[in-house]
Amino acid sequence: MSTAIFMLAGLLGRCANAQLLHRYDFNSVNDTVGTANGTLVGSATLSGGALATAGGNGSVSGAWGGTGPMMTLDPSAVSGITNAFTLETWFQCTTGWPKYDSLFAFSDGTEANYLLGNPVMGYSPWPSGFNIAGGSGSSSVSVRGIYLDDNSIHQVTLTYDGTTFTYYIDGALPSYSGYSATASDSGFNLSTLTDVGINGGSPWGDPCLTGSTYDFRIYGQALSAAQVAAIYGLGKDASNSSISNAIVPPTALVWNGAGANNNWSTALNWVGGIAPATSGESLTFAGSIRTSPILDANYSVTGLIFSNNASSFTFGTTSSTLTLAGDVVNNSTGVQTFNVPVALSLPATLNAASGNLVVNSNISLGTTALTLTGNNSFSLNGNVTGSGNFTKNGAGTLTLGSSTLSAGAVSFNNGTTLVSGTITSVSSGTTYIG
């Protein structure tokens, strides 16, 4: 496999964690990251890497029709974005009337569910910002900052972490005339807003942008303040790879349980507001908030650590599987319980370093080795099956419930093992007791 293919595979893997999903640099109507290409509407033109429009009423669909100059996006641009996201654009808006120019808009064709950005509002003191309606079923919420119809190039970024919208101008939180740059609305669902317009698309048919947009990006995560500042520093013509590098999350993600539910995919449940990818992450569980995490998708982790300040956690699932491509270590004195099926993709160790580990679901070894170690106890109450080796080390007690242990070479080297079920060595027919 070539280096270029490896790099692409890495980028796509991160996009599974919903980082940079779509980007439009307006050298063409094409999506340079995904496949949700755009369509020019009306008198909109592309020139020199810019989408240029000169106002004119119109929306993507509905009563106003798609007559205004803009670029519309395929609905696949937002499909699957049901929780955290970030929208970023680089643009230039000329001064003068009419106000309420539509910088970009997402709607379902009605005025009940929409997200609409304006570089300037039509009332004093002329703020810029976003109005958002839908999601929780409440009335619309808004975030505001200083007017941006000054014929200068600006970056505008809107993040949503599943609960809070945050508005940034030129890489920083704006502070203008008492307006707030944040607003709360838990439950907003971008994927239902299939009418997508850049430089236009207001559900009311408000004026399309009088000016040019140079870059438009959709991320499937809530970027942090530091990440927003970092991508602003890269400029409007940054490469896709440099953008992805600037927003890469930490290699170890830490659970803080600050979200509105117990799901692993909820960004606010993790320090920094970035949920883990479904594969390739090392996770740390700490503290005593939301101690019943739910695997709401299949996850493959390179490591899973319970910190020394972690309470007892119990993992549940919505019919998902936890795949181990690394070790589980309990550095807490609390008992850590897994009520989720476990599979191995690489050799893994369960380490009861400071507290007990309990697995009530089945463990699928495949051809991969599983080792138990540590001076504290284990309880395995589901079936353990596969041709990989199973080894018990450490002074702690292993209790095998009324289940089947069927592995390659089975070895109990240290400590005590209590058996209620059956044990089979499929490779040698011998169980070694040290």
Convert the pLDDT of each residue in 136-158 to its tens digit: 656 789 999 999 999 999 999 99
Q: Residue 359: which residues within 8 A CB-CB, separation 6 or more?
A: 337, 338, 342, 350, 378, 379, 380, 381, 382
Residue 277 located in a structural domain? yes
Structural domain ending residue among the three candidates 192, 220, 246: 246
> 399 - beta bridge partners?
379, 418
Q: What is the pLDDT of residue 97?
A: 66
| Residue 411 host element (H or E) | strand 410-412
Q: Do 232 and 253 share a domain, yes or no?
A: no
In percent, the amount of the chain with pLDDT more than 90 equals 64
Convert the pLDDT of each residue in 407-432 to its tens digit: 999 999 999 999 988 999 988 777 88
Structural domain ending residue among the three candidates 246, 263, 291: 246
Q: Do 56 and 150 share a domain, yes or no?
A: yes
Q: What is the pLDDT of residue 204?
A: 83
Q: Do 49 and 167 share a domain, yes or no?
A: yes
Q: What is the pLDDT of residue 13?
A: 35
Domain region containing 375? 362-434
Residue 57 located in a structural domain? yes
Q: How many CA atoms lie within 13 A of 80 on its CB side?
A: 15
Q: What is the pLDDT of residue 120?
A: 93
Q: What is the pLDDT of residue 63?
A: 38
Q: Do 169 and 114 share a domain, yes or no?
A: yes
pLDDT higher than threshold 80 for residue 24: yes
Cα–Cα distance for residue pair 383/391, rounded to 1 Å? 15
Residue 4 located in a structural domain? no
pLDDT higher than threshold 50 for residue 56: yes
Q: Write out the E strands in 199-278.
A: 210-219, 252-255
Mean pLDDT for 55-60 is 63
pLDDT higher than threshold 80 for residue 96: no
Q: Residue 6: which residues within 8 A CB-CB, separation 6 or more?
A: none
Among 57-71, 251-265, 326-340, the range of highest mean pLDDT? 326-340
Q: What is the pLDDT of residue 214?
A: 98
Q: Do 232 and 264 share a domain, yes or no?
A: no
Closest CA to 50 of 92, 109, 11, 99: 92
In percent, the amount of the chain with pLDDT more than 70 equals 91
Cα–Cα distance for residue pair 428/409, rounded to 1 Å? 6
- Report whether 246 contacts 227 (CB < 8 A): yes
Mean pLDDT for 382-387 is 96
Residue 3 located in a structural domain? no
pLDDT higher than threshold 60 for residue 7: no
- The CATH number given to whatever domain includes residue 40 is 2.60.120.200
Cα–Cα distance for residue pair 29/197, rounded to 1 Å? 12
Q: Do 125 and 201 share a domain, yes or no?
A: yes
Residue 136 located in a structural domain? yes
Binned at pLDDT 50, 70 and 90, residue 185 comes out as: confident
Mean pLDDT for 354-380 is 96
Convert the pLDDT of each residue in 40-54 to its tens digit: 998 999 999 999 998
Q: Which comes out higher in pLDDT, residue 178 or 64?
A: 178
Q: What angle do CA 91, 131, 100 make, to 5 degrees?
A: 55
Residue 9 located in a structural domain? no
Number of domains in the chain: 3
Mean pLDDT for 232-253 is 84
Q: Which residues of 396-409 are buried (b: 16+ CB within 10 A; e: fewer)?
A: bbbbbbebebbbbb
Q: Which comes out higher in pLDDT, residue 261 or 205?
A: 261
Closest CA to 348 of 328, 374, 373: 328
Mean pLDDT of the chain: 88
pLDDT higher than threshold 90 for residue 135: no
pLDDT higher than threshold 80 for residue 5: no
- Whole-model pTM: value is 0.60
pLDDT higher than threshold 90 for residue 89: yes
Residue 308 located in a structural domain? yes
Residue 2 located in a structural domain? no
pLDDT higher than threshold 80 for residue 304: yes
Q: Do 266 and 327 share a domain, yes or no?
A: yes
8-state DSSP, 430 = -
pLDDT higher than threshold 90 for residue 57: no
Closest CA to 70 of 218, 189, 205: 205
Closest CA to 21 of 73, 74, 78: 78
